[in-house]
Homo-oligomer: A and B are copies of this chain.
Amino acid sequence: MNSDVNRSPPLGRVTIADVAREAGVSVPTVSKVVNGRYGVAPATFKRVTEVVAALGYETSLVAASLRRQRTNVIGILVPEFESFSAELLKGISTAATGTGYELLAYSALAPGGISAGWERRSLSRLAGTLIDGAIIVTPTLLMPTTSIPVVAIDPHDGPGGPSTIDSDNIGGARVATGHLIELGHRRIAHIRGRSDLASAQLREAGYRESLENAGIPFDSTLVCDGEYQAALTAKAARELLMRPDRPTAVFAANDMSALGVLDAARELGLRVPEDVSVIGFDDVPEAASSKPPLTTMAQPLLDMGAQALRMLVKLLDGEDIPNHVQLPAELVVRASTGPAPIGF
């Protein structure tokens, strides 16, 4: 079935065949010109180049990647685009300019929330053909072997997987809790993060250690789950703050949950930090513009993204990279923490 009838040029996408026909040469010749290969007469080269420009032709990533082994595209796999991954993306983008790699950020956005194994499915869908390597943000699965080079940011952890980047979660949590203790707080609650992430477990561990070091007995009723999300946290925090023996301070596992605590406090008419102190983790941009501005443990998110990209590029170049890179977390004191109220 030769349905290759001449169609008017700009109806659909311009394919390599359109260029070939227009330039009066064969398809492979166009391919050679486009890919800068030798073996094309200067005159032909010029004519084809002109037609390419005139028609605005660009090789289809899909078709090319299917045939070729290398695409020069780096994939960034995220569960969704929110503040945390967006910051990483900025850092990645900055570090990627000039490397010759293109960036493809992908989110499968499962309807019923983030489903287990999303990273494996996403990787399978893109790897091998579309992307040369991937940066995976908050993977929850152990992926001992992957078909392409991978660097993970803030992963579930575990040995034998890809190289990982995170910040000093346990140390940061100690500092955060210590900050509250120094302010005189004794009843300090903790909103836990996503249980499938090492960062959440380490932050809880740091919280408990810090309590213990200060001789404050651990009270399990002061710990609840926020899953790193503002809405979920607000609900849990409301109950916590309505108790007669409510905590005077809350260490939220990340900024989004800290913002949730702020919401809950506002609803209940509690003043921050006069009635309750709140500290978060991440230093996402929103932390600076909340009311009051959030005291938090800053993770160098831009740096983490940039380093991840550099590591992945090295990996793609066949160089060795460290198995694990940890960046520091720093206390940023804003206005959501203050001295413990007297009488508590």
Contacts and interface: CB of A to CB of B under 8 A. Distances in A.
Interface of A: 9-14, 56-63, 65-66, 80-83, 86-87, 89-90, 92-93, 96-98, 100-109, 111, 117, 120-121, 124-130, 145, 147, 285-286, 288-289
A104 B102 contact: no
A56 B288 contact: no
Contact of A101 (B11, B106, B109, B117): B109
A145 B10 contact: yes
A127 to B, nearest CB: 6
Contact of A81 (B10, B57, B92, B286): B92
A106 B126 CA distance: 13
A56 B144 CA distance: 13
Given A92-B81, A103-B81, A104-B106, A130 B62 contact: yes
Given A9-B145, A86-B90, A289-B288, A63 B61 contact: no
B90 A82 contact: yes
B81 A93 contact: yes
14 contacts: A13-B127, A58-B120, A58-B125, A61-B125, A61-B126, A62-B65, A66-B66, A82-B90, A83-B90, A86-B90, A93-B109, A101-B109, A103-B105, A285-B286
Contacts of A107: 93, 102-103, 105
A191 B129 CA distance: 44
A156 B60 CA distance: 25
A66 B63 CA distance: 7
A90 B97 contact: no
Contacts of A93: 80-82, 107, 109
Contacts of A60: 124-125, 128-130
Contacts of A286: 285
A87 B108 CA distance: 19
A180 to B, nearest CB: 22
A13 B128 contact: yes
B105 A104 contact: yes
